[in-house]
Structure 1
Amino acid sequence: MNDAAPRLAALAETLMGAPLPVRIRAWDGSEAGPLGGPILVLANRRALRRILWKPGELGLARAWVAGDLTVDGDLFELLDRVGGLLWEPDREPGAEAPAKDEKAGPAALLRDPRTRAAVRGLVALARPWTRPAPPPEEAHRRGDGPRQPRHTRGSDRRAISHHYDVGNTFYERVLGPSMVYSCAYWAPGGSLEDAQRDKLDLVCRKLALGPGDRLLDVGCGWGSMALHAAREYGAKVTGITLSREQAAYARKRVAEEGLADLVEIRVQDYRDVKDGPYDAVSSIGMAEHVGADRYRTYARSLYGLLRPGGRLLNHQIARRPEPDEEAYRIDAFIDAYVFPDGELSPLGTTVGELERAGFEVRDVEALREHYALTLRAWVARLEEHWEEAQRLTSPGRARVWQLYMAASALAFEHNRLGVNQVLAVRTGTRSASGMPLRAREWPA
């Protein structure tokens, strides 16, 4: 009898106390739930076992990465419909967040008489009751534990390698010729390439770069910012990254463009740069890796590397502040599969830390909608090259990037995440030289 989906739907609705937001299809071909729109497909019983062994986002992510959970239809629409099950529903800024039960999970659900029968029903459907191993794409940390410090030089190097050292050709397919892995700066009707070029140019103009200026590009990636600043503005650029694959790729690009006299690419931690002063520092999509406990060290390090009057452009993703910041938790899926040890801070926290380091913050520009557009463009490129992307990495890795980028696009669209360019100056008691008197009149 093919009745797995109706049984799943009934049990899930009991647990949720609400109707299913999407239609589901079970391993036996049965379906249940609202018609129209995408269908969530449980390809086998193992999908259910993964979700029951690790209830919440991580169990769902493991099922997705392993291919046990798929979607028939539009992934963006499905994530939008089930978003309330994966993250907090949208609420007004400043509204109280719902309480988080530290002991939530199967044991808590079994203790509750209202949900006990439903959980037992799901367990019966999931048999045999074996615990599936996590997909191989999940990050494995050395000596992980509550007493192990994060964001040491070694742990940061391993985290960066997990995310970026998955093959440069894979990133070419996703990012396109620009090889820029951060929020673009869109104009109506523009292409991804146009938007990434305009973003790099905006950064250079905010930094007031000119011929011979020394620029430190922290987290230089595949060298796109360094190349643009050298080629278009004549700057002398030092780019640093912890990824050896990125560094090799960037050096090749530098040589091919004949810019070796202007651009140096190093595999180096920002804490180990000692050859200041620089006229400017760009940090584009790197500070998310720093960690809350190390952010003051990061800000003070960059401050110390600038000459008086030198500028920092800090381009960074921000999360919404929590009413109780102690309640903030790192996203389980992102931490396990995408950015191990990555941490997001509210914009106000970032600005405060820069000011504590001695910077004068001169401009903040929010680009939230721009990142949603960028991520949707990356997802489209990934899906266009889907078969090749799986061969270049693994099917699981491709599915990680697909889910991560699609969910992130929706997070920016729904104002769960933001991204901001903060321009700060190492200045003393007098006004910073060369700053425009009117905001945002950055010289072309």
Structure 2
Amino acid sequence: MARTSSRSPRTVADELTPVLHQMLGPDIPFALRAWDGSSIGPTDPPVTIDVHSPSAVQHLMWSPNELGLARAHVSGALDIDGDIFDFLAVRDLMVQRDPDVSLKLGLRGSMRLAGSLRRLGLLGRRPPLPAEELRPRGRLHTRSRDAAAIAHHYDVSNDFYRILLGPSMTYSCAYWYEDGLDLADAQEAKYELICRKLGLRSGMRLLDVGCGWGSMAIHAAKHHGAVVVGITISEAQAELARRRVAEAGLARRVEIRVQDYRDVDDDPFDAISSIGMFEHVGEQQMAEYLTDLKGLVRTEGRILNHAISRPNPDDNAGVDPKSFMGRYVFPDAALLEVGTVVSAMQRTGLEVRDVQSLREHYALTLRAWVANLEADWDEVQRLVGPGRARVWRLYLAGCALGFEQARTSIHQVLAVRTSEDGTASVPATRSTFEVDRDHPVDH
């Protein structure tokens, strides 16, 4: 006679608990609800992770790191019930326990997860990758590959960007020069700060490299009388930028082109701005980029480079192509340490005159974008799909914490093409750059 077992079958929660303890220690700081109804964690958690499908665990098995978690979340197999910042705080808890942790299971954790999947009958099945994941092909930073990477990130939906960025349509760090500013005022202040650093005056020619939706070009023409050429390799950006320029009545002063910076040949320009574009250039192309800009600006003309940077000069500059950022957000991007950029400018023959960190300002900007996204979440999902909406919320919130915790930084570097006799025509003090608190853009 066969013996029957009185033991209850193990639940998904039973199987995953040892894996979570391996990663997080004995006190799991969130609740987890599995697809079979079982759960793990405290009864009143700050955040709950809903594992809707076995494919979430399978993604983690095949990529036992942040990319596997991201795939599970983007695909909808894993969702977050609670504040996105509370969810990301789990990583900080892990770092406190082990400074070298990077959301990896490690060998022991991977073996435990494999055993759990085997007992659940899920081992060996690789789920399909989310459609939002990009794997660029071809040689790095060719014109065609750069265009594909830019299109992946920027040619999403102009209506989506209107929700995310607000009326300024500015996708770069704002300048919160005083308390009480809203996002639009802070973005306007950033453009004013850059215009003052560049010393723009009526009639001067400005080249805006990576012009986005035209906000810098519009500000420089409207408030400083500049004649602006804005270039982008995003067709969607250029289309909307031209419309915004026309609506502002500035079509005679602002030209928007779909053009690679390597193809600009109508120099000289009196000044050049590069805002949030340098990250896409790449470390190997940095010298070529700076040399090209120097060749486009007149003697005594100024160049301002506004770019995200990495604090540690010994870290790898390139965004890991197998990371969440490398596959879903910024394919082929590189974050260079600011000292490396300054040295490259000096080596090119540009004299660096001012370096300013805006790290805390970008954290505030990113939190404002997350708030915009979540305030209109249903419409965001309708415009770009649930998967891409999840990508953006996770990316923006993670970046906000990165800037707050000094894991990432951002700098404005002002340089000038000094004349042979040393004349630079740059003010000796920074005071002329400061935004007027009473009349920030009153000209």
TM-score normalised to structure 1 length: 0.89
1:324–1:246 Cα change, 3 Å: closer
Query: 2 CA distance for matches of 1:288 and 1:63?
Result: 27
Query: 2 CA distance for matches of 1:326 and 1:399?
Result: 26
Aligned to 2:299: 308
Shift of 1:75: 0.8
Equivalent position SS for 1:441: helix
Equivalent position SS for 1:423: strand
Aligned to 1:177: 167
Q: 1:16-165, aligned counterparts within 5 Å? A: 19-34=27-42, 35-83=44-92, 98=100, 109=107, 116-125=111-120, 127=122, 129-141=124-136, 144=137, 148-165=138-155
Q: 1:311-322, aligned counterparts within 5 Å? A: 311-321=302-312
Equivalent position SS for 1:307: strand
1:61–1:18 Cα change, 3 Å: same
Q: Does the 8 Å CA contact 2:48/2:80 hold for their aligned counterparts? A: yes
Query: 2 CA distance for matches of 1:83 and 1:281?
Result: 39
The alignment status of 1:435 with 2:426, answered yes or no, reads: yes
Q: How many residues align?
A: 425
The alignment status of 1:406 with 2:403, answered yes or no, reads: no
Q: Does the 8 Å CA contact 1:168/1:246 hold for their aligned counterparts? A: yes
Shift of 1:256: 1.4
Query: 1 CA distance for matches of 2:157 and 2:316?
Result: 37
Query: 2 CA distance for matches of 1:318 and 1:363?
Result: 16
Aligned to 1:333: 324
Query: 2 CA distance for matches of 1:432 and 1:346?
Result: 28
Aligned to 1:220: 211
Q: Does the 8 Å CA contact 2:222/2:250 hold for their aligned counterparts? A: yes
Equivalent position SS for 2:387: helix
Q: Deviations over 1:63-103 (max 9, x none)?
A: 11111111111110110122465xx6699xxxxx8599xxx
Shift of 1:190: 0.7
Of 358-367 and 32-41, deviating more is 32-41
Aligned to 1:200: 191
Of 334-343 and 319-328, deviating more is 319-328
Q: Does the 8 Å CA contact 2:319/2:333 hold for their aligned counterparts? A: no
Query: 1 CA distance for matches of 2:208 and 2:430?
Result: 24
Query: 2 CA distance for matches of 1:252 and 1:89?
Result: 49
Q: Deviations over 1:281-315 (max 9, x none)?
A: 00000000001111111111111111011001100
Residue type matched to 1:127 in 2?
Answer: L
1:302–1:400 Cα change, 3 Å: same
Q: 1:264-283, aligned counterparts within 5 Å? A: 264-283=255-274
1:126–1:200 Cα change, 3 Å: farther
The alignment status of 1:381 with 2:386, answered yes or no, reads: no
Equivalent position SS for 1:293: coil
Identify unmatched segments of 5+ residues in structure 2. 1-8, 437-443
Q: Does the 8 Å CA contact 1:222/1:250 hold for their aligned counterparts? A: yes
1:159–1:7 Cα change, 3 Å: same
From 389, 410, 421, the counterpart of 2:412: 421
The alignment status of 1:356 with 2:364, answered yes or no, reads: no
Aligned to 1:11: 19
Q: Does the 8 Å CA contact 2:283/2:318 hold for their aligned counterparts? A: no
Equivalent position SS for 1:127: coil
1:413–1:300 Cα change, 3 Å: same
Identify unmatched segments of 5+ residues in structure 1. 92-96
Shift of 1:105: 8.0
Query: 1 CA distance for matches of 2:318 and 2:130?
Result: 28
1:384–1:238 Cα change, 3 Å: same
Shift of 1:36: 2.7
Of 261-270 and 72-81, deviating more is 72-81
Query: 1 CA distance for matches of 2:322 and 2:191?
Result: 29
The alignment status of 1:288 with 2:279, answered yes or no, reads: yes
1:175–1:59 Cα change, 3 Å: same
Q: Deviations over 1:257-293 (max 9, x none)?
A: 2211100000000111111111100000000000111
Q: Does the 8 Å CA contact 1:247/1:267 hold for their aligned counterparts? A: yes
Aligned to 2:4: none
Shift of 1:3: 3.2
Shift of 1:178: 0.4
CA RMSD of aligned residues (A): 2.5
1:27–1:249 Cα change, 3 Å: same
TM-score normalised to structure 2 length: 0.90
